């Protein structure tokens, strides 16, 4: 552990999920070593990255404070565009979170071997993304101190929230998602907390991890119950992948705004969520695996599989765009047609639509090529482009549809302000900071599941 190996990669190539020469011990050491590495050995990139991210967290703090002090008018929202960056960011962040649940839950149930080394990482990403997302519905309220009125609680006013409103469905969907994700994540961590407790170099680590491990001894009974619980939680999480973003899409499809009022949104949003989520996992995983030399645990097979999922969901999203365009024409409805033409040609934000097509439809087609899929810099850049594209997609949907709807006298342009950008950048900083803290403090890869992979490979004479 003292000398860094030379630049040759540890990666075993796109056909293997684990580098050669690993046994239960080395896998455990490697992963826990990331946490227990001496502070001076922390990679420089982490300091720089965390520094920038933390700076942005402070920007977020200032932005939110100013927002609460003055009011939601510091943003660029107006009439008719009463929802701007806040809702775009909310949907974007929630969407990103879906990859984690997809990887953890659905890929588990589908018994995909390549989920193992990325599932912990992406679940954490989900949690942090939901945390970032969950701020926005509160921040964007005119009177955020009364946000609790959206929650059904018995009160002296005898008032309950209005259940026909998609925003209430959001409250349930997102809080359920956050809760279940947190439970699933924590449950998955329990054996690893125990491992960390057992390998703790000092009594503080031992005590903290010990408390978190909830008394895990690793006995057969524990494991038997554990597997059942884990599967149950996976089963609970699976429908959430589809339901949460569908419900978020209802915010738009239930309303009457042309450009929002379309039935394709639920599947389109869910596919888009997984799309952007995988892109974010790649954006984070590629640098981290390099900095911490985890290439033998997160191999090119993982990268390639994720790229393939991105391509697949990207095609679904492309279908969604095509359907929107087609239905705009096929419906014969003047307002629907105009909305599309406004979005793509004559509106003030027409250029965002074409950048969107470039980012979300054209760029990922490069992933058809195996060479591109295995070329890390390309995959990294494509994942960034897709994230930008998905943000633009929500922008196009939310903002351009609102700029011009039914009555022409009310049409108006939306111009984001400095505070819109600073709040967004702030949440990016919060997300990255939390990810860095997670990597620093918790096992970023599931130790016990990697041991299972070692076991599985040994006993099936794996490739």
Partner 1 sequence: MSELSYWRSLEELSSSAEFRAFVEDEFPNRTPDWNDPRSRRRFLTLMGASVALAGASACTVQPKEVIVPYVRQPEEVVPGNPLFYATAMSKAGIATGLLVESHLGRPTKVEGNPEHPASLGATDAVMQASVLTLYDPDRSQTVTRNGAISDWGSFFTALTGARDIAGLKQGAGLRILTGAVTSPTLFSQLKEYLTACPLAKWHQYEPCGRHSVRAGAIMSFGRPINTIYRFDRADIIVSLDADFLCSGMPGGIRYAHDYSERRRAAAVDSNVRPPRLYVAEGTPSITGGMADHRFRMRTTEVEAFGFTLMHDPTSPVAKELNAHRGSSIVIAGEYQSPRVHAMAHSLNQELGNAGKTVLYTDSVEANSADELTSLSELISDMQSGKVETLLILGGNPVYDAPADSEFLDALKKVHFRVHVGTYSNETAAWCHWHVPEAHYLESWSDARAYDGTACVVQPLIAPLYDGKTPHDILNVLNNHADLSAHDTVRAYWQTQHNGKGFDDFWQTSLHDGVIPGTAFAEITPPAGKISDAPATSIAGLEIVFRPDPAVGDGAMSNNAWLQEMPKPQNKMTWDNAVWVSPKSAQSYGVSTGDMVEIELRGRKVEGPVWIMPGHADESITIHFGYGRTRAGNIADGVGFDAYAIRNSASPWVDGGVQVTRKSRGYVFATTQHTQTMEERDPFRVATFAEYHKDPQFARPEQDRVSDTHSMFPLWEYKQHKWGMSIDLAACIGCQACTMACQSENNIAVVGKEEVAKGRHMNWIRVDRYYHGSLDDPQMYFQPVPCMHCENALCELVCPVAATIHSGEGLNEMVYNRCVGTRYCSNNCPYKVRRFNFFLYSDWNTQSLYGMRNPDVTVRSRGVMEKCSYCVQRINRAKIDADKQDRPIADGEIVTACQQACPTQAIIFGDLNNPNSKVSKLKKQLRDYSLLEELDTRPRTTYLARLSNPNPELEKSE
Which residues form the interface with partner 1 (CB under 8 A)? 70-73, 76-83, 137, 140-144, 146-147, 149-150, 159-162, 164-168, 171, 251, 254-257, 334-335, 338, 402, 404-413, 415
The 3-state DSSP class for residue 143 equals coil
Preceding amide of 80 cis, omega within 30: yes
Using an 8 Å Cβ cutoff, are 118 and 100 in contact? no
Nearer Cβ to partner 1 (75/448): 75
Nearer Cβ to partner 1 (335/372): 335
Angle between helices 24-36 and 418-441 (to 10 degrees): 130
φ, ψ dihedrals at 254, nearest 5°: -75, -20
Shortest reach from residue 180's CB to partner 1, in Å:
22
Nearer Cβ to partner 1 (171/241): 171
Shortest reach from residue 111's CB to partner 1, in Å:
40
CA-to-CA distance for 324 and 269, rounded, in angstroms?
13
Using an 8 Å Cβ cutoff, are 118 and 278 in contact? no
Nearer Cβ to partner 1 (214/418): 418
Using an 8 Å Cβ cutoff, are 429 and 57 in contact? yes
φ, ψ dihedrals at 121, nearest 5°: -55, -50
Shortest reach from residue 305's CB to partner 1, in Å:
39
Shortest reach from residue 154's CB to partner 1, in Å:
15
Shortest reach from residue 101's CB to partner 1, in Å:
25
What separation, in Å, do the N-terminal and C-terminal C-alpha atoms of the chain show? 27
CA-to-CA distance for 46 and 37, rounded, in angstroms?
13
CA-to-CA distance for 324 and 304, rounded, in angstroms?
30
Q: Specify the residue for token string 């900083």.
A: 429
Nearer Cβ to partner 1 (254/327): 254
DSSP 219: -
Nearer Cβ to partner 1 (165/206): 165
Rounded to the nearest angstrom, the gap between the alpha carbon of residue 225 and the centroid of all alpha carbons in its chain is 29
Radius of gyration of the chain (CA): 23
Shortest reach from residue 150's CB to partner 1, in Å:
5
φ, ψ dihedrals at 218, nearest 5°: 80, 20
Nearer Cβ to partner 1 (76/364): 76
Shortest reach from residue 84's CB to partner 1, in Å:
10
Nearer Cβ to partner 1 (275/340): 340
Strands of 61-137 (E only): list them: none
Residue partners of 201: CB distance under 8 A and separation at least 6: 36
Shortest reach from residue 145's CB to partner 1, in Å:
9
Shortest reach from residue 72's CB to partner 1, in Å:
6
The 3-state DSSP class for residue 75 equals coil
Using an 8 Å Cβ cutoff, are 432 and 425 in contact? no
Nearer Cβ to partner 1 (46/141): 141
Nearer Cβ to partner 1 (203/409): 409
Listed in sequence order, the DSSP H helices in 292-375 are 300-330, 334-341, 350-357, 370-373
Preceding amide of 441 cis, omega within 30: no
DSSP 4: P
Nearer Cβ to partner 1 (14/348): 348
Shortest reach from residue 396's CB to partner 1, in Å:
16
Using an 8 Å Cβ cutoff, are 114 and 301 in contact? yes
Shortest reach from residue 251's CB to partner 1, in Å:
8
CA-to-CA distance for 378 and 353, rounded, in angstroms?
23
């Amino acid at each position: 552990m003292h000398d860094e190996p030379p630049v040759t990669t540890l990666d075993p190539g796109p056909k293997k999920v684990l580098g050669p020469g690993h046994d239960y011990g080395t896998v455990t050491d490697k992963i826990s070593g990331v946490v227990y590495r001496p502070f001076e050995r922390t990679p420089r990139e982490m300091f720089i990255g965390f520094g920038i991210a933390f700076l942005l967290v402070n920007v977020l703090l200032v932005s939110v404070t100013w927002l609460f002090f003055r009011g939601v008018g510091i943003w660029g929202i107006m009439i008719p565009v009463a929802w701007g960056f806040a809702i775009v960011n909310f949907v974007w962040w929630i969407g990103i979170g879906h990859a984690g649940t997809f990887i953890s839950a659905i890929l588990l149930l589908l018994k995909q071997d390549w989920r193992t080394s990325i599932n912990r990482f992406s679940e954490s990403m989900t949690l942090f993304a939901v945390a970032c997302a969950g701020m926005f519905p509160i921040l964007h309220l005119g009177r955020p101190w009364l946000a609790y009125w959206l929650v059904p609680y018995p009160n002296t006013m005898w008032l309950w929230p209005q259940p026909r409103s998609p925003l209430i469905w959001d409250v349930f969907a997102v809080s359920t998602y956050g809760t279940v994700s947190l439970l699933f994540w924590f449950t998955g961590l329990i054996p690893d907390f125990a491992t960390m407790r057992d390998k703790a170099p000092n009594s503080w680590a031992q005590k903290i991890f010990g408390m978190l491990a909830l008394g895990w001894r690793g006995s057969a009974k524990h494991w038997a119950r554990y597997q059942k619980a884990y599967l149950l939680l996976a089963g609970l999480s699976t429908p959430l992948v589809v339901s949460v973003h569908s419900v978020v899409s209802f915010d738009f499809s239930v309303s009457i705004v042309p450009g929002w009022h379309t039935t394709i949104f639920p599947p389109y949003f869910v596919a888009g969520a997984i799309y952007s989520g995988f892109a974010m996992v790649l954006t984070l995983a590629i640098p981290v695996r390099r900095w911490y030399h985890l290439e033998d645990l997160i191999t090119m097979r993982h990268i390639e599989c994720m790229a393939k999922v991105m391509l697949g969901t990207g095609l679904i999203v492309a279908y969604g765009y095509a359907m929107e365009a087609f239905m705009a024409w096929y419906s014969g409805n003047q307002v629907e047609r105009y909305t599309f033409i406004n979005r793509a040609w004559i509106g003030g934000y027409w250029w965002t639509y074409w950048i969107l097509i470039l980012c979300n439809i054209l760029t990922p087609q490069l992933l058809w090529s195996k060479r591109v899929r295995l070329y890390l810099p390309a995959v990294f850049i494509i994942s960034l482009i897709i994230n930008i594209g998905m943000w633009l997609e929500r922008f196009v949907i939310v903002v351009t549809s609102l700029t011009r709807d039914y009555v022409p006298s009310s049409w108006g342009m939306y111009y984001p302000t400095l505070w819109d950008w600073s709040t967004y950048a702030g949440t990016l900083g919060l997300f990255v900071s939390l990810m860095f803290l997670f990597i620093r403090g918790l096992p970023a890869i599931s130790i016990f599941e990697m041991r299972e992979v070692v076991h599985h490979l040994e006993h099936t004479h794996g490739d």
